[in-house]
Amino acid sequence: MIFNIVHTTSYEYSAPAIESFTELRVRPRCSNLQIIHRHLTEVTPRAELEEFIDYYGNTVECLSVPYRHKTLSVTSRSTVETLAHKDALTGLDLSVSEAVRLNWPHRRELFDFLMPSMHAPITPELEALSRELLPSSGSFAERILHLNHYIYKNFSYVPGVTDVRTPISEVLNKRQGVCQDFAHLMIALIRCAGLPARYVSGYIETEPVDEVTGLAGATASHAWVEVFLPSGLWLGIDPTNDMMEGERHVQLGVGRDYNDVSPLRGVFKGAERQRLSVVVTVSRTTGRSISE
């Protein structure tokens, strides 16, 4: 599938900002799951962009506006072709404990995705739930799929009841949240079992197309999980929609949790307050040109 994606973030300051600095993680990832045909980032007021690759392999674009400005608008335009995903999970005939042991030789490069992080902590409550859902003697493939289904069935997708600062303990109590919450919960439970898991930031085609069922996801962005398989592959799983990552998913970045891959992050001086607006469109196309 080929998608045209337009992601616009706008800031309006209560008074002119003296200067601002922003990091962007809005360029889709190049991988064996997707091809980036074109990408363009537009900034108003005009500012030069500098790029670097961060620790987790994500492309970061940086901009600085060193003069007074009342508004700042950043628009990312991308054309991405997503490829068919092979089933790398169901053929794995091993237990959870066997998967843990097979991953042991890779523990150094997987260290960040085995340890607790800011939004995916390890607590006694989560450890107890992980032992129930991911018992060491259970089938690795079956238990991962069951965990995905468990979150989908037992937690309601309700936009606005949480934000990125909401702790997992509150999500567990409310049994409500959004895709970021469900991804953090799943990551924490997988790590409690001694398995590597990482956070994926991106987009999803939410609207039904050609009799294909619509999916749940934020209009601004989507989040899901990748679990490391003993075969050496990262497998994408979407607990918000009880499905495996597929051609309707577009990856932006990966990290320990949301804090590593937030689409925009920045600081400004001079104004006391700011108003933020985000508009994202993900449209399927048969062409390969950036949408206007």
Q: Rounded to two decimals, what is the model's pTM? A: 0.92
pLDDT means over runs of 10, the chain (292 residues): 93 91 94 94 93 96 93 95 89 94 94 97 97 97 97 95 91 95 98 98 80 59 95 95 95 97 90 86 72 44
Domains of the chain: 2-82+261-285 (2.60.40.2250), 96-246 (3.10.620.30)
The answer to whether the beta carbons of residues 8 and 274 sit under 8 Å apart is no
Q: How far apart are CA 248 and CA 233, in angstroms?
A: 20
- Give the per-residue pLDDT at 291: 45
Task: Specify whether the CB–CB gap between 183 and 200 falls below 8 A.
Answer: yes
Angstrom distance (rounded) from CA 146 to CA 150:
6
The predicted structure's pLDDT at residue 90: 83
Q: Number of helices (H) and strands (E), helices first, in the chain?
A: 6, 15
The pLDDT value given to residue 214? 61
Angle between helix 140-154 and helix 124-133 axes, rounded to 10 deg: 120
For residue 124, give every residue at least 6 positions away whose Cβ sits within 8 Å of its Cβ, in sequence order, or none.
none
CA dist., res. 270 & res. 253, Å (int): 31
3-state secondary structure of 13: strand
Task: Give the count of alpha carbons within 13 A of 24, CB side only.
Answer: 25
Residue 246 has phi, psi (to 5 degrees) of -140, -160
The end-to-end CA distance of the chain, in Å, is 19
pLDDT for res 70? 93
- pLDDT recorded at residue 55: 95
User: In sequence order, which residues have a C-beta less than 8 Å from that of residue 169 and are 6 or more positions away?
Assistant: 123, 125
3-state secondary structure (DSSP) of residue 124: helix
At 254 the pLDDT is: 97
Q: Are 72 and 30 in contact (CB under 8 A)?
A: no
pLDDT for residue 215: 64
